[in-house]
A = this chain, B = another copy of it.
Amino acid sequence: MQSRTPPTRAGRPRSAAADAAILAATRAALVELGWSRLTLGDVATRAGVAKTTLYRRWAGKNELVVDAVAELFDELRLPDHGSLAADIEGVVLQFAALLARPEARSGLMAVVAEATRDETLRDRIRTSIVDRQKRLVLEGRARAQSRGELPPEPGPEEAARTADLIFDMVAGAVVHRTLVSAEPADEEWVRGFTRILLTGLATHSPFGGPALLEELGGV
């Protein structure tokens, strides 16, 4: 009964090799030229395909670069280093190394900029990149909770909100450090970041304990 879009359609199938070649060529062009000087004609030439072939698969530059960059993020892993602090430091250093690569730097920020005016592109980024990497937060939290380093979540809704918040804080800080402030997220920076994320700014403050919690209005 699968009348529309059968699993194997008639006619010549699309070349999977062409897809891979185009995405690799896109990353290479991002390295050499950056976003603004990257042209689809040049990418097609690098990939050894016709420009029309490229336009048959992607609507434009934005969609192509999102797919080319998204593949990079799947390399991130969260090995068990024995403690929450070490786990965070490890994944943040990985993320910093990823953002040190020019194809990730210029590509990611450019598509984010374009996505501010393109609802469809926003969804594509969310599903292809953002949501895929939230797995790291969920995995790290579950591991820390099983170690007793973090309290269990009061409910599923609150748990999801907190996970999103952590993700924005970690990814946002690294992105801002490396791309906006344009300073390296080296080990010293990562240690300081992890410390504040885990214990807060007010550590060792005379009012940093219960008094500060009251001030925040409780849970």
Q: Known A197-B200, A205-B150; judge A176-B179 contact (CB<8 A).
A: no
| Interface residue tally on A, bucketed by range | 35 or more
- A196: chain B residues at CB < 8 Å are 165-166, 169, 197, 200
Of residues 162 through 207 on chain A, the ones whose CB sits less than 8 Å from some CB of chain B are: 162, 164-169, 171-177, 179-183, 189, 191-207
Interface of A is mostly: helix
Q: Which residues of B contact A113 (CB under 8 A)?
A: 35, 105-106, 108-110, 112-113
Which A residues form the contact surface with B (CB < 8 A)? 34-36, 83-85, 102, 105-106, 108-110, 112-117, 122, 125-126, 130, 148-151, 161-162, 164-169, 171-177, 179-183, 189, 191-208, 212-213, 215-217
Pull 27 A–B residue pairs with CB atoms less than 8 Å apart, ordered by A. Answer: A34-B114, A85-B212, A85-B215, A105-B113, A109-B109, A110-B110, A112-B113, A115-B182, A122-B182, A125-B180, A130-B181, A150-B205, A150-B208, A165-B189, A167-B181, A169-B193, A169-B197, A172-B173, A175-B175, A175-B180, A194-B216, A196-B197, A196-B200, A197-B201, A198-B212, A199-B200, A199-B208
